[in-house]
Amino acid sequence: MVYNILIFILSFVLLGLAAHWTVNSIAFLARYFKWREFVLVYFVLVVGAAIPNLSVGLFSSMQKVPDLFFGDVIGNSLITLTLIAGLAALTNKGLRADSRLVQQSSLFVIFAATLPLLLIMDGNLSRGDGFVLLIFFFLYSGWLFSKRRLFEHTYNGEESKTPKTSFLKSLLGIIFGIPFLILAGKLIVDSSIFFAETFNLSLAIFGVLIVAIGTSLPELFFVVMAAKKSNNWLALGGIIGDVIVLPTFGLGIIAIFSPIEITVFSTFLPLFIFLLIASIIFVWAIRTGRKITSQEAIVLLSVYGCFLIYEIASRVW
């Protein structure tokens, strides 16, 4: 048991480090080639931050336990909308949402966060459902790029003093980071199967309560650091993008290759309710006050706290 706990903890440390190397390396290459800021944020930081989750999804699918990835994704959405958004807002004494693009994008959050749960109500996230999720992702991406004039300007990051050296370093970061991500993903899946069987938990619920916390660390790091630097656009863009990309693109891809079955949907009903509440509060704060205030941040954190208390209490009693 002690051995498995150590492997489980170390796999998340490895996942976090590998994700940090990979995302930072990709971000540097984007700056090096002077990609537009919207490309950097949406495809590099948001999709890049989803890499740890996708590595878990890959091995979940290969080992015929895709429900673990389903739990990871849904739990990640709840954590992003409550814990990450709340901490980011408290860090900067509120997150301003003056950008019209951010306000409009927030409307997609409720649908993207809850769509996978609606599709799996029949107990199965089929290949057809996977295509539905991918269609939603491409529709949002197409809409986002149609608005690129609202925020299309070259990224003004700090230029490296030794661009050639940094360029090679970034390439090595990607080359070595991805294999470590894959290794960490396999270790997490293996350990999750062991603990779920040991404590008599479904893999999906274990993914919600445990795995999602570990795989959310890259997003937490990026969003909080952006908020700390008063870059509200990046922080909110990261939150919204993460909630939209992973449940649609990530789950869509995995469902097509390995359909996901949830035998007892009632176990996910509380999560569905808390996720719906969190997404409504998040969107309401952005659309009405154009800012997530410190008070609203505490409310979001409280939603996640109430969810944890409910899950623990329901399993103890």
Using the 8-state DSSP alphabet, how is residue 162 labeled? S
Q: How confident is the model at residue 164 (pLDDT cuts 50, 70, 90)?
A: low
Q: pLDDT tens digits for 189-231?
A: 677 777 777 877 777 677 777 777 777 776 777 777 778 877 7
C-alpha angle 55-59-60 in degrees, rounded to nearest 5: 110
Q: How would CATH label the architecture of 2-316?
A: Up-down Bundle (1.20)
Strands 124-125 and 260-261: antiparallel
C-alpha angle 226-228-233 in degrees, rounded to nearest 5: 40
pLDDT of residue 159: 46
Higher pLDDT, 172 or 53: 172
Q: pLDDT tens digits for 245-297?
A: 889 988 898 888 888 887 767 777 888 899 999 999 999 988 887 789 999 99
Q: From CA 74, how far away is CA 77, in angstroms rounded?
A: 5
Q: From CA 298, how far away is CA 83, in angstroms rounded?
A: 9
Q: H-helix or E-strand containing 27?
A: helix 2-32
Residue 51 has pLDDT above 70, yes or no: no
Q: From CA 123, how far away is CA 134, in angstroms rounded?
A: 19
Q: pLDDT tens digits for 78-128?
A: 999 999 999 999 988 888 887 777 788 888 999 999 999 999 988 888 999
Q: pLDDT tens digits for 171-182?
A: 777 677 767 766
Q: How far is CA 39 from the centre of its chain?
A: 18
Residue 125, classed as helix, strand or coil, is strand
Q: How confident is the model at residue 241 (pLDDT cuts 50, 70, 90)?
A: confident
